[in-house]
Amino acid sequence: MPNLASTANRDNDFVVKFANVNGTGSASANSLIMKAIFRMGVPVTGKNYFPSNIQGLPTWYEIRVTREAYAARAGRVDIMVAMNAETYQRDVREVSSGGFLIYDSTWPRSTLLQRGDITVIGVPLAQLVNESFDGARNRILLKNIAYAGAVAALIDVDVEIVNDLLRESYGKKPKLLDSNSKALHLGYDYAKKQFGCPLPLRVRHMDKTRGHIVIDGNTAAGLGCVYAGATVGAWYPITPSTSLMDAFKGFCERYRIDPVSGERNFAVIQAEDELAAIGIVLGASWNGARAFTPTSGPGVSLMNEFVGLAYYAEVPCVIFDVQRVGPSTGMPTRTQQSDIMLCAYASHGDTRHVLLFPANPEECFYMAAQAFDLAERLQTPVFVMSDLDIGMNDWMCRDLKWDDAYRPDRGKMLSAEELAGLDKFYRYVDRDDDAITYRTLPGVNPKGAYFTRGSGHNQFGAYTEDSAEYQAVLDRLKRKFSTAAKYVPKPEVIGNGNNEIGIVSIGSCDGAVREAMDVLARHAIYVDYMRLKAFPFGTEVTSFLSSHPTIFVIEQNRDAQLRSLLILETPVAKFKLHSILSYNGLPMCCDPIVDGIRAVLDDAPRLSAVKS
Amino acid sequence: MSFINKPKVAHPSLPTNALGMTRRQYEGVMSTLCAGCGHDSITAAIVEACWGLAMRPEQLVKLSGIGCSSKTTAYFVSGAHGFNSVHGRMPSIASGANAANRDLTYIGISGDGDSLSIGFGQLAHAIRRNVNMLYLIENNGVYGLTKGQFSASADIGTKAKRGDVNKTPPIDPVLLALSLGATFVARGFSGDKAQLVPLIQAGMRHTGFALIDVLSPCVTFNDHEGSTKSYTFTREHYHPAMEADFVAPAQEIAVDYPSGEAMSVELHDGSRVMLRKLGSSYDPTDASAAYRFIESKLKLNEYVTGLVHIDETGSTEFHTLNKTSAVPLNRIPYEKLSPGSGALDKLLERYR
């Protein structure tokens, strides 16, 4: 009988990590536990660490039970559910001191255990399952449910909620429901009987998940595209963006097929490569449909040429870059924010692009719609800079809301009537003095016809090799980018604004930064935090930078790309910006931020924040 | 190129079509290609074809990549939107434009470099996707704008202006299109406008991807002795095998075809293509037979011209397979596209 009282009581504040073999159906067992905790009113986050592989390689799923509703990876493991013999040794090593390890004791592993500071709990899962079920595949699948049952007992998850979830999943398949329920109780009852359940790491009912959902960013972004009125999606499959298009297609099949005629109000085109995917998006967008492509870094690399055309010929388009680890193929199933410079200046020649930085699935939903509005308002490509952590992991976020009064901002698009009233239409004449010109769609009115080209053109849309004419258009594009700064979402600033230390960060760093701020406050270090939501940077960004003498720029890449962008695009003094970088492929966690800031402050005792 | 401007007014006695428009109104800006370029003859054939079809200019969309051929979209139907995209990527632009609005007529102009080298993949996949468009390759076997390198359609043994002899085998766009299942495949010659105009008209009215490979000599870099894409060589070796007449909807068939020698194929909009077999007995609806025939003639250095293959069922056309709404996607009102807040509230239950 293991000693179960070896750690301090940490209700609703611990991490369970499941070590599995990919392709064995463990994902459903893991999400069963996560959802049950969520339904108990306790905030959770789920992080999936999976290989670029179909079947047989190690995969991990990490559930953070977090009463403070921290969104970041915890950076520790309190309970390891070690179901993969191949990774067993490293899984044992990863458990935090005082933590627990649950393993399948059908095959005892006493000789491999080298740690006295953790508690090992053996559950003979294979034996229990093999005694009750037939069929190799069936046994593998049900063993997952059995360990879910044991974990539920050990951390005190409400088993009735787990049963409800099983009923929701298998309600229409009584045989499956029966076997899953039986497997759940095999593990649950065994643990209840053999151990003094629950562990000191336990889940207790709270009321902090009401009005929230658990969703991944790709699903939310795909849904956002549906609500934005996007009708054409083109893509080439690439991890980790694939599920975005899957979601869009799934929602369209649900909401966009005429029940009577069977006609579809959408087209999803799987292109032959990313070059074609972005070409299809440009063609559709140029022709008046809202069109988008989801991709990742390698895809953006291929799309560069067309992005330059879209910038220069002023064709709206929306690109979701669900960033993964680079360079080259890199680690396709790990996360990073390493495409910032690639996207900000994509393509040859002088180009600059609008970037949006969602921090979580909720923002993926809203920013998807916003991206289309901006792309059409500004007639230019807009990148939504998501990442694998946001896109593919399960995040708890506030309920998504939609305002039925929303209507797409199509920007300056001339109607047939407006064209009829015009003497002559010129595509690139700046009539309103805001650097945004009027566009027309094919098929509307012959007066609107113009020739779209990536070659040198003057403000009338005609081919030119005349220096002044070429430069006039290029200068207007520069002014247009300044205009863009007024349209893009403003940064979010947390803190009273008077602290000497500022943090600047983006996207999926947000959870870790907020958590770090709480930790720093406990050390009497107070900071102001500006989360950038977009590029180009507006006046709010420059004033935050100028009003804080010491600034930490926190991002997930090696080369401090966000910091570089701030230096290039704002008047900020380079020496003020300290980098805190995480680029190991794992979602950001709070510890390196706290450590990084304290290290600099310890070297700089003059800072008043330290004194206080 | 020419340095004179086109006259701004048209002579009042110029013939008009059903829309009351003259041929002049289907022209574009002045060509900047070399005097005598085959491409300009093709442009003239397109103008004639559009005028003859009484196309509303705004119903036409002109697309191209990069190269001499791709410039020509500016030289016809100035009342139509044009999109001169990037090298070899016009098929994807066309696919997207067509996805957004299925009601317009799409005509893509490409060249042998644009289609058979840098854009080979995009061409193949546009055919496979069966995008409803006319795709015209102005094929001269040579890169003009970069001064005379061989293209992928250059024949073995053909001689460059500077004397190099090509040793690598050519890619034939007609055989390529047939092997990929294109539903309309034709070959023409820029010097035979009478043959080309009805091919263009039929290609524009065909439901699905229509490819016309037009042999179009480059007078500057590939019109010398020893070239197999010169005017002289092409005139000697092109072989009209399957002439097509285009008959608009509700128009009487004016020609008296001898029985057994003409075949009528009805197009989606009610127009017809009357195929006149010249000396051959193959069935143009049979793609495999067409492939064998063209291939055997190519081995003899003969370019078979005419409508080589047609399949008018439209069953694999992109929108047919996609079951796209009859109302073009770019015209569906937002109210029909948004599921609304009520549906969202209901959907969220899935994520709790």
Q: Where are the domains of chain B?
A: 23-351
Selection from A380, A343, A387, A337 nearest residue A364 by Cα: A387
The DSSP call for residue B158 is: -
The CB density around residue A259, as the number of other CB atoms within 10 Å, is 6
Q: What residues does A66 pair with on adjacent strands?
A: A13
Q: What are residue A270's DSSP bridge partners?
A: A235
Contact criterion met (CB < 8 Å) for B92 and A441 = no
User: Which strands form A577-581's sheet, in the order they lie side by side?
Assistant: A492-494, A527-532, A501-506, A550-555, A577-581
> A358: Cβ–Cβ under 8 A, 6 or more apart, which residues?
A217, A221, A364, A367, A384, A385, A386, A390, A507
Chain centroid to CA A81: how far? 26
**DSSP string over A320-376:** EEEE-B-STT-BTTS-----HHHHHT-SSSS---EEE---SHHHHHHHHHHHHHHHH
DSSP B38: H
Listed as ranges, residues in chain B with pLDDT below 50 are none
Are the beta carbons of A333 and A51 closer than 8 angstroms?
A: yes
The torsion of the CA quartet B319, B321, B324, B328, rounded to 10 degrees, works out to: 0
Q: Supply the ipTM of this predicted assembly.
A: 0.95
How far is it, in rounded angstroms, from Cα B135 to Cα B114? 12
| CA-wise closest residue to A506 among A479, A530, A477 | A530
Which structure tokens are listed for B338? 């948004």
| 3-state class (DSSP) for residue A61 | strand
Nearest to B246 by CA among B290, B294, B210, B213: B210
- Bridge-partner residues for B142, per DSSP? B150
- Positions of chain A with pLDDT under 70: 1-9, 110-113, 604-612
Q: Return d(Cα A358, Cα A243) in angstroms, integer.
A: 17
The alpha carbon of residue A480 is apart from the nearest alpha carbon of chain B, in Å, by 22
Mutate to test the interface with B, among A44, A453, A465 (most CBs of B within 10 A): A453
Confidence at residue A1, expressed as pLDDT on a 0 to 100 scale = 37
At which residue do the structure tokens 């991990």 appear? A60
How many whole angstroms separate alpha carbon B109 and alpha carbon B71? 9
Nearest Cα neighbor of A356 from A335, A370, A336, A345 is A370
pTM of this structure: 0.95
Burial state string for B20-47 with b = 16 or more CB within 10 A and e = fewer than 16: ebbbebbbbeebebbeebbbbbbbbbbb
3-state secondary structure of A21: strand
Residues 6+ apart with CB under 8 A from B231: B38, B191, B217, B219, B223
DSSP-based three-state secondary structure for B243: strand
Measured between alpha carbons, how far is B29 from B56 in angstroms, rounded to an integer?
A: 18
Contacting residues of B for A460, CB less than 8 Å apart = none
SS3 B134: strand
Tokens 């709480």 belong to residue? A518
Q: A448–B99: do the CB atoms touch at under 8 Å?
A: no
Buried (b) or exposed (e) across A219-231, using 16+ Cβ within 10 A?
bbbbbbbbbbbbb
Nearest to A236 by CA among A286, A318, A284, A300: A300
Using DSSP, state whether B230 is helix, strand or coil: coil
At residue B239, the pLDDT reads 78
Query: HSE (CB half, 13 Å, CA atoms) of A573?
Result: 7
Q: Do A305 and B336 lie within an 8 Å CB cutoff?
A: no
Mutate to test the interface with A, among B329, B334, B346 (most CBs of A within 10 A): B329
Contact status, residue A71 vs residue A508, Cβ threshold 8 Å = no
Please indicate if any CB of chain A lies within 8 Å of the CB of B100: yes
User: A215-398 and A492-611 share one CATH topology?
Assistant: yes
Residue A404's alpha-carbon distances to A43, A513, B340, B344, in angstroms, are 29, 34, 6, 11
- With a CB cutoff of 8 Å and minimum separation 6, the contacts of A259 are none
Compute the nearest-CA separation of A602 from chain B (Å): 45
Q: Is B259 on the interface with A (CB under 8 A)?
A: no
Query: What does chain B come to in residues?
Result: 352
Smallest CA–CA separation between B219 and chain A, in Å? Answer: 24
Q: Are A256 and A264 in contact (CB under 8 A)?
A: yes
Beta-carbon contacts of B263 under 8 Å, excluding residues fewer than 6 positions away, are B274, B275, B277, B284
Conformation bin of residue A208: beta by default, left when phi > 0, alpha when psi is -120 to 50: alpha
Closest Cα partner for A549 from A571, A530, A575? A575
Amino acid type, B238: Y
Task: Supply the pLDDT for residue A549.
Answer: 96
* Ramachandran angles phi, psi of A40, nearest 5°: -80, 5
> Tokens 């680029």, residue?
A583
Q: Which residues on B lie below 8 Å from A403 (Cβ)? A: 341
**Residues forming a β-bridge with B111:** B138
Q: Where are the beta strands (DSSP E) in A429-541?
A: 451-453, 492-494, 501-506, 527-532, 534-535
Tell me the two tokens of residue B312.
């008018």
Q: Which of A286, A393, A404 to mutate to test the interface with B (most CBs of B within 10 A)?
A: A286
Residue A186 to residue A183: CA distance in whole angstroms: 5
Q: Does B321 touch chain A (CB under 8 A)?
A: no
Distances (CA, A) of A222 to A292, A442, B54: 10, 28, 42
- The whole-angstrom separation of Cα B36 and Cα B142 is 16
Q: Do you know the residue count of chain A?
A: 612
**Structure-token pair, residue B121:** 């993949």
Report the pLDDT value the prediction gives residue A111, as an integer from 0 to 100: 63
Establish if A397 touches chain B: CB-CB under 8 angstroms: no
From B94's Cα to the closest Cα of chain A, the distance in A is 6
Query: Is residue A413 within 8 Å of A436, Cβ to Cβ?
Result: no
Per the CB < 8 A criterion, the answer to whether A22 and A53 are in contact is yes
Cβ contacts of A111 within 8 Å, gap of 6 or more: none
Task: Give the homologous superfamily in CATH for domain A215-398.
Answer: Thiamin diphosphate (ThDP)-binding fold, Pyr/PP domains (3.40.50.970)
Distance from CA of A544 to the nearest CA of B (A): 36
Q: What angle do CA B233, B235, B240 make, to 5 degrees?
A: 125
Q: In chain A, positions 523-562, which contact chain B (CB-CB < 8 Å)? A: none
Cβ–Cβ of B85/A279 closer than 8 Å? yes
CATH architecture group of domain B23-351? 3-Layer(aba) Sandwich (3.40)
Topology of the domain comprising A492-611:
Rossmann fold (3.40.50)
- From A380's Cα to the closest Cα of chain B, the distance in A is 15
| Residue B152 Cα distances to A132, A175, A259, B190, B197, angstroms | 66, 61, 49, 19, 26
The domain ranges of chain A are: 13-194, 215-398, 416-475, 492-611
> Domain A13-194, what fold?
Pyruvate-ferredoxin Oxidoreductase; domain 3 (3.40.920)
Apex A319 CA angle, A318 and A324, nearest 5: 160
CB contact under 8 A, B338 and A281: no
A227 CB neighbours in chain B (<8 A) are 338-339, 344
